[in-house]
């Protein structure tokens, strides 16, 4: 079934805690879907990661274990107890074993899971595709494609008989398909589960064995025959030929059609996201604390130097650096952030938009418009490149955040549509090939300075665009190039911790020290082979 990115699903969101959206938020969604598949009763989980993937080296430090275990417990991505996931999973009596061995995974973020309880054992393979997005690829050896954007009913059968016809005539569904692997089941995607009455009738049929219900995990649902007004920048300009809409209005045009929600609802949803971002920055400015962390609250020192007028002048630029840092520090201390476009790059976009918006004393509506403008740039990236550092390096995370922020800043300054697109193009051009080499498997360094670079690059590119600098390469072609450049970045420099700064002598020392601290805290109770 054809689907398209949603600003709120794929680009600006989820609202979450933890260092990485492609690890914490994605794995919590996978874990929640596993829990539903097991009817809320999980006793044992066998997790397999491929040694050639990113998860083999990052599953613990970047929070995949935390998210996955939280999902098994039915938690949300912003759950306060997430840092206590090991205690909670033990108290829940769920035994987890993690093995790292070849599983033939073709995606770097592949989870192969075997879930058991007293009654049954089920298998599920899923991938995290970046920014908290997921896809379930297999259930019980049968190929599926579930992104968590439908209510999914699985009717397990001994043989399909005429069950599909019965369901088709019983209620409107978006998709009904027979899936065959180690088990045979009929997968039904709809905007609600099969009703209790229909399920009762099905269970009377001798071919029907049992029924499973998997809840959606995304905020914006999909549907059959989903359409969007455009999916490239070129198509957007053609769509706008007789409208003369600003970029933020085009974002509303897109998202209201994508999500089947009103224009006002799109605007207000973005307002609530902007408010969460503002709260997170304000929290970060007060200073943050968290034990399992490399850097302390760097932003406090910056704030002091700024107040004492000891920094190179540039009030708004410095405010953006401060806000970006504060947001990153909230993330690193397990506070609530919005992945925008990812948790690792959650600082640049809000740091720039809110820093400039407050610096210029703009009304909140202007921040919402800027964030919408940034969101539609992110849609093009999500549709034609990636936000996953495991696939496209830091270019995919901070580079994308920079391109999105640049377009939003032009919107704040009431620039033209062409200037917004030019700013995004230049900011992305400046970010091509940026590697991901986080230190000690924590999404803190060089992530903090990369976010600051992304935010300040966005300001430079917005100002260049507002002065009509010629960006030469159209945005669509830059996004296509991001995809090709990402494919050319070696695996060691794509969020595996196997290259770049991550393998410097100092980084290795930091890593050893953190591991030592962790062992002393005796936090590890599950076996990693």
**Which residues are bridge partners to 494 per DSSP?**
436
How far is the C-alpha of 450 from the C-alpha of 134, rounded, in Å?
Answer: 25
Can you state the percent helix, strand and coil of the chain, rounding each to 5?
Answer: 50, 15, 35
Ranked by CB distance to ligand SF4, the top (closest) residue is 344
Smallest gap from residue 54 Cβ to ligand SF4 (A): 10
| Residue nearer to ligand SF4 on the CB measure, 171 or 501 | 501
Smallest gap from residue 330 Cβ to ligand SF4 (A): 15
Instruction: For 343, list phi and psi in degrees, rounded to 5.
Output: -70, -40
Smallest gap from residue 401 Cβ to ligand SF4 (A): 9
Report if residue 131 touches ligand SF4, rule: CB under 6 A: no
| Residue nearer to ligand SF4 on the CB measure, 25 or 398 | 398
Q: Which of 61, 344, 351, 355 binds ligand SF4 (CB under 6 A)?
A: 344
Smallest gap from residue 321 Cβ to ligand SF4 (A): 16
Q: Which stretch binds ligand SF4 (CB under 6 A): 88-96, 299-307, 394-402, 404-412?
A: 394-402
Considering only residues 198 through 217, tell me which ones interact with ligand SF4, judged by CB under 6 A: none
Smallest gap from residue 60 Cβ to ligand SF4 (A): 15
Report if residue 66 touches ligand SF4, rule: CB under 6 A: no
Smallest gap from residue 77 Cβ to ligand SF4 (A): 17
Smallest gap from residue 439 Cβ to ligand SF4 (A): 9
Query: Which long-range contacts link 106-109 to residues 24+ away (Cβ below 8 Å)?
Result: 107/53, 108/52, 108/53, 108/54, 108/55, 108/388, 108/390, 108/391, 108/491, 108/494, 108/495, 108/496, 109/22, 109/23, 109/26, 109/53, 109/54, 109/55, 109/388, 109/390
Q: Which of 123, 397, 411, 441 binds ligand SF4 (CB under 6 A)?
A: 397
> Is 415:466 a contact under the CB 8 Å cutoff?
yes
Smallest gap from residue 151 Cβ to ligand SF4 (A): 33
Q: What angle do CA 510, 490, 476 make, to 5 degrees?
A: 115
Report if residue 447 touches ligand SF4, rule: CB under 6 A: yes
Q: Which of 152, 184, 324, 345 binds ligand SF4 (CB under 6 A)?
A: 345
How far is the C-alpha of 263 from the C-alpha of 424, rounded, in Å?
Answer: 24
> Is 381:341 a contact under the CB 8 Å cutoff?
yes
Smallest gap from residue 127 Cβ to ligand SF4 (A): 17
Query: Which long-range contacts link 359-364 to residues 24+ away (Cβ below 8 Å)?
Result: 359/315, 359/316, 359/319, 359/320, 360/316, 360/412, 362/412, 364/271, 364/274, 364/275
- Under DSSP, the state recorded for 192 is S
| Residue nearer to ligand SF4 on the CB measure, 209 or 432 | 432
Q: Which stretch binds ligand SF4 (CB under 6 A): 98-106, 111-119, 234-242, 439-447?
A: 439-447
> Is 478:425 a contact under the CB 8 Å cutoff?
yes
Q: How would DSSP label each residue in 140-157? A: TTEEEEE-S-SEEEEEEE
Query: 433-455 burial, b if ≥16 CB within 10 A, otherwise e?
Result: bbbbbbbbbbbbbbbbebbbbbb
Report if residue 25 touches ligand SF4, rule: CB under 6 A: no
Q: Which stretch binds ligand SF4 (CB under 6 A): 86-94, 208-216, 355-363, 391-399?
A: 391-399
**Which residues are bridge partners to 176 per DSSP?**
188
How far is the C-alpha of 374 from the C-alpha of 409, rounded, in Å?
Answer: 9
Q: Which of 438, 461, 475, 514 binds ligand SF4 (CB under 6 A)?
A: 438
Q: Which stretch binds ligand SF4 (CB under 6 A): 2-10, 167-175, 276-284, 443-451?
A: 443-451
| Residue nearer to ligand SF4 on the CB measure, 142 or 398 | 398
Neighbours of 514 (CB within 10 A): 18
Q: Which of 12, 66, 394, 462 binds ligand SF4 (CB under 6 A)?
A: 394
Query: Which long-range contacts link 121-125 to residues 24+ away (Cβ below 8 Å)?
Result: 122/37, 122/38, 123/182, 124/30, 124/33, 124/34, 124/37
Where on the phi/psi map is residue 309: left (φ > 0), alpha (ψ -120 to 50), or beta?
left
Smallest gap from residue 501 Cβ to ligand SF4 (A): 9
Q: Which stretch binds ligand SF4 (CB under 6 A): 195-203, 259-267, 316-324, 444-452?
A: 444-452
Report if residue 273 touches ligand SF4, rule: CB under 6 A: no
How far is the C-alpha of 189 from the C-alpha of 151, rounded, in Å?
Answer: 6
| Residue nearer to ligand SF4 on the CB measure, 259 or 401 | 401
Smallest gap from residue 489 Cβ to ligand SF4 (A): 11
Report if residue 356 touches ligand SF4, rule: CB under 6 A: no
Q: Which of 5, 132, 446, 497 binds ligand SF4 (CB under 6 A)?
A: 446
| Residue nearer to ligand SF4 on the CB measure, 55 or 146 | 55
Report if residue 495 touches ligand SF4, rule: CB under 6 A: yes
H helices present in 192-347, as ranges: 196-204, 233-239, 247-259, 263-285, 298-307, 315-332
Report if residue 443 touches ligand SF4, rule: CB under 6 A: yes
Smallest gap from residue 28 Cβ to ligand SF4 (A): 18
How far is the C-alpha of 482 from the C-alpha of 136, rounded, in Å?
Answer: 25
| Residue nearer to ligand SF4 on the CB measure, 438 or 507 | 438
Size of the site for ligand SF4 (CB under 6 A): 13
Instruction: For 436, list phi and psi in degrees, rounded to 5.
Output: -110, 115
Report if residue 386 touches ligand SF4, rule: CB under 6 A: no
Residues that bind ligand SF4 (CB under 6 A): 344-345, 389, 394, 397-398, 436, 438, 443, 446-447, 450, 495
């Amino acid at each position: 079934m054809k689907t398209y990115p949603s600003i709120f699903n794929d680009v600006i969101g989820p609202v979450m805690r933890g260092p990485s959206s492609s690890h914490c938020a994605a794995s919590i969604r996978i874990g929640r879907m596993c829990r539903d598949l097991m009817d809320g009763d999980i006793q044992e989980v066998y997790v397999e990661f491929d040694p050639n993937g990113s998860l083999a080296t990052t599953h613990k430090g970047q929070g995949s274990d935390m998210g996955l275990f939280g999902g098994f417990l039915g938690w949300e991505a912003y759950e306060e107890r997430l840092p206590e996931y090991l205690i909670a999973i033990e108290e829940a009596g769920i035994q987890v074993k993690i093995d790292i061995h070849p599983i033939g995974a073709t995606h770097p973020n592949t989870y192969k899971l075997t879930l058991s309880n007293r009654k049954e054992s089920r298998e599920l393979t899923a991938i995290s595709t970046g920014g908290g997005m997921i896809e379930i690829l297999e259930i019980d050896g049968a190929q599926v494609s579930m992104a968590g954007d439908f209510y999914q009913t699985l009717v397990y059968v001994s043989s399909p008989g005429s069950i599909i016809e019965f369901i088709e005539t019983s209620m409107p569904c978006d998709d009904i398909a027979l899936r065959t692997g180690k088990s045979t089941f009929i997968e039904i995607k709809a905007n609600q589960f099969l009703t209790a009455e229909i399920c009762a009738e099905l269970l009377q049929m001798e071919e029907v064995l049992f029924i499973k219900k998997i809840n959606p995990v995304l905020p914006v649902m999909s549907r059959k025959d989903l359409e969007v007004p455009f999916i490239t920048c070129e198509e957007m300009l053609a769509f706008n030929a007789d409208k003369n809409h600003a970029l933020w209005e085009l974002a509303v045009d897109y998202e209201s059609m994508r999500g089947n929600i009103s224009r006002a609802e799109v605007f207000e949803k973005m307002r609530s996201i902007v408010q969460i971002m503002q709260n997170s920055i304000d929290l970060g400015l007060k200073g943050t604390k968290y034990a399992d962390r490399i850097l302390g609250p760097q932003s406090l020192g910056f704030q002091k130097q700024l107040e004492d007028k000891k920094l190179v002048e540039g009030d708004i630029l410095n405010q953006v650096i401060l806000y970006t840092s504060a947001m990153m520090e909230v993330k690193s201390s397990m506070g609530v952030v919005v992945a925008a476009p990812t948790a690792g790059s959650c600082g640049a976009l809000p740091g720039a938009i809110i820093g400039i918006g407050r610096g210029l004393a703009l009304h909140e509506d202007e921040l919402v418009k800027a964030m919408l403008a940034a969101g539609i740039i992110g849609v093009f990236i999500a549709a034609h490149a990636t936000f996953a550092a495991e696939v496209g390096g830091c270019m995919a995370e901070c580079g994308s955040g920079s391109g999105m922020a640049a377009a939003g800043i032009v919107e704040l300054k009431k620039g033209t549509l062409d200037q917004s697109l030019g700013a995004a193009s230049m900011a992305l051009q400046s970010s091509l090939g940026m590697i991901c080499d986080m230190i000690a498997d924590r999404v803190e360094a060089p992530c903090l300075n990369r976010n600051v670079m992304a935010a300040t690059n966005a300001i430079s590119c917005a100002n260049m665009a507002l002065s009509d600098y010629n960006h030469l390469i159209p945005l669509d072609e830059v996004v296509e190039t991001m995809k090709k450049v990402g494919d050319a970045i070696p695996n060691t420099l794509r969020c595996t911790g196997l290259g770049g700064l991550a393998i410097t002598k100092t980084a290795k020392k930091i890593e050893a020290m953190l591991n030592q601290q962790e062992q002393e805290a005796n936090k590890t109770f599950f076996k990693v082979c």
